């Protein structure tokens, strides 16, 4: 059994309808940019990529289409990527 300080999995439940086109695009953009993020890349490029990821996640976090648990996850991830973007600027 996981400890109390460990995150618990987010239960996924089928929605009667899928995400709208704008949110599907945001998910695709965030995932694509995450796979392209490279520690070997130029600092400015890493910062721009991290900022774009944070922006897509911020937009998703504001979507009422997502379950509350997924909106919270998006907000957490957005803060992480925003911190990465900020760190690359310094």
pLDDT for 39 beyond 90 = no
- What are 16-34's pLDDT values in tens digits? 667 788 888 888 888 888 8
Alpha carbon distance 3, 65 (integer Å): 31
Q: What is the pTM of this model?
A: 0.72
Alpha carbon distance 35, 69 (integer Å): 23
Rounded to 5°, angle at Cα 83 from 79 and 6: 55
Q: What pLDDT is attached to residue 78?
A: 93
The 8-class DSSP code of residue 63 comes to -
């Amino acid at each position: 059994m996981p400890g109390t300080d460990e995150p618990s999995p987010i239960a996924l439940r089928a929605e009667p309808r899928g995400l709208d086109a704008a949110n599907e695009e945001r998910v695709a953009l965030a995932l694509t940019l995450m796979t392209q993020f490279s520690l070997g890349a130029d600092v400015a490029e890493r910062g721009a990529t991290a900022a774009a990821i944070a922006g897509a996640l911020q937009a998703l976090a504001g979507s009422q289409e997502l379950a509350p648990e997924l909106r919270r996850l998006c907000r957490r991830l957005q803060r992480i990527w925003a911190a990465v973007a900020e760190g690359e600027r310094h």
